[in-house]
Amino acid sequence: MTRKVVILGATSAIAEATARLYAAEGAALVLVGRNAGRLAEIAADLKARGAAAAEIEATDLANPHDAAAQLQALASRLGGLDDVLLFYGVLGDQARAEADMAHAREILDVGFTSAAEWCLAAANILEAQGRGALVVIGSVAGDRGRQSNYVYGAAKAGLGVLVQGIAHRLALRGRGARAVLVKPGFVDTPMTDHLKKGGPLWASPEAVAQVVRKAADNGGPIVYAPFFWRFILLVIRLVPAPIFHKTRL
């Protein structure tokens, strides 16, 4: 049976790598994002890689008009819905966000408020049909507030709690639908081009995509990508505040 997948934020590097995995399986996809030209390029590549269909929907995900109706329309285009993957967000600039409330609001609105609407809409559709997966890209930045990125971290922390709650809700209903929060660490993407890269903590989009694809089929409600971030963040969360506040993380 052809897998039917909606990808929200399809132009992100991790989203594109994940879409290629689905394409190799012959899935039918709808790619959603703002840049119609880039979406068309990705869609053409996915068809060449074996996708049964690769349609595009150019829209501003950060400003949904009616997320439930929009998502239902995308599902209708596919003739059904198996997976909803959410990848979009904005890292922003922490120093600027501390002084510019409009920039802080943008980070929070994009990373949490709008994303929450899409997640809730997806959860309702998946619960009603009794199957499918919602997979959301969070971040290890949401595990503990750090002076270097706490506005972005707050958005991801809020989104993480929301997805965990959806996962709990769907599990209690016991009808087969599920939700998963994937928390990557450092990933070599255009969003992190301003950071110094290299070393064992950095992962490729392709490596994270493998985790995302697996998460859509099975696993717990929270998955770290790569797995070792679970243990790194456990240590960071357990450091007492008086000690933690002397670091410059």
- Where exactly are the structural domains of the chain? 4-244
CATH of region 4-244? 3.40.50.720
For the chain, 249 residues long, give each residue's pLDDT as a single digit of tens: 899 999 999 999 999 999 999 999 999 999 999 999 999 999 999 999 999 999 999 999 999 989 999 999 999 999 999 999 999 999 999 999 999 999 999 999 999 999 999 999 999 999 999 999 999 999 999 999 999 999 999 999 999 999 999 999 999 988 899 999 999 998 877 666 566 666 678 889 999 999 999 999 998 899 999 999 999 999 999 999 999 999 988
Choose the catalytic residue: 22, 88, 152, 224. 152
224 is catalytic: no
DSSP string computed for 56-114:
EEE--TTS-S-HHHHHHHHHHHHTS-SEEEE-------HHHHHH-HHHHHHHHIIIIII
